[in-house]
Structure 1
């Protein structure tokens, strides 16, 4: 049995990189969501456009995480 160590290292590197990207994107989404005042009221947070941009940023970050997870499931599940 022959193991292609270069390919194995490549798969490890890509999976580690994608994992880091997803964790960072989810963390940024949580931070943006907290800035909008969702969950608990945030008395010192500004209103208006800043809140809308933070909400849009949070939604985009969560959507990116969901897309990566869905793509991974699509690769694993046959059919």
Structure 2
């Protein structure tokens, strides 16, 4: 029995890159959903038109990140089952 060290190294490298990438994408999703409007000096949250647009864009980007993570998980399950 012999071990193909080059193939093992490739699997390790790809696994490491994909894992770090998926954690980064999921982190961006969490960051996008946790963005809130900055409070004014009075203590109430300021809601201006620019803030609402930025918040909606951040939330849309966050949902896209979560969709990418779900797609990667689904593809991994597909590879295992097929």
TM-score category (smaller protein): 0.7 to 0.9
Larger Rg: 2
TM-score, normalization: structure 2?
0.80
Q: For residues 45 and 11 of structure 1, what CA distance do their matches in structure 2 show?
A: 48
1:62 and 2:59 correspond: no
1:51 CA drift (Å): 1.2
Other structure's SS at 2:34 match: helix
CA RMSD, Structure 1 to Structure 2 (Å):
2.0
TM-score, normalization: structure 1?
0.83
Provide structure 2 residue ranges, at least 5 long, that are not aligned to the other structure.
38-44
Provide structure 1 residue ranges, at least 5 long, that are not aligned to the other structure.
38-42
| Alpha-carbon distance change, 52 to 5 in structure 1, aligned in 2, over 3 angstroms | same
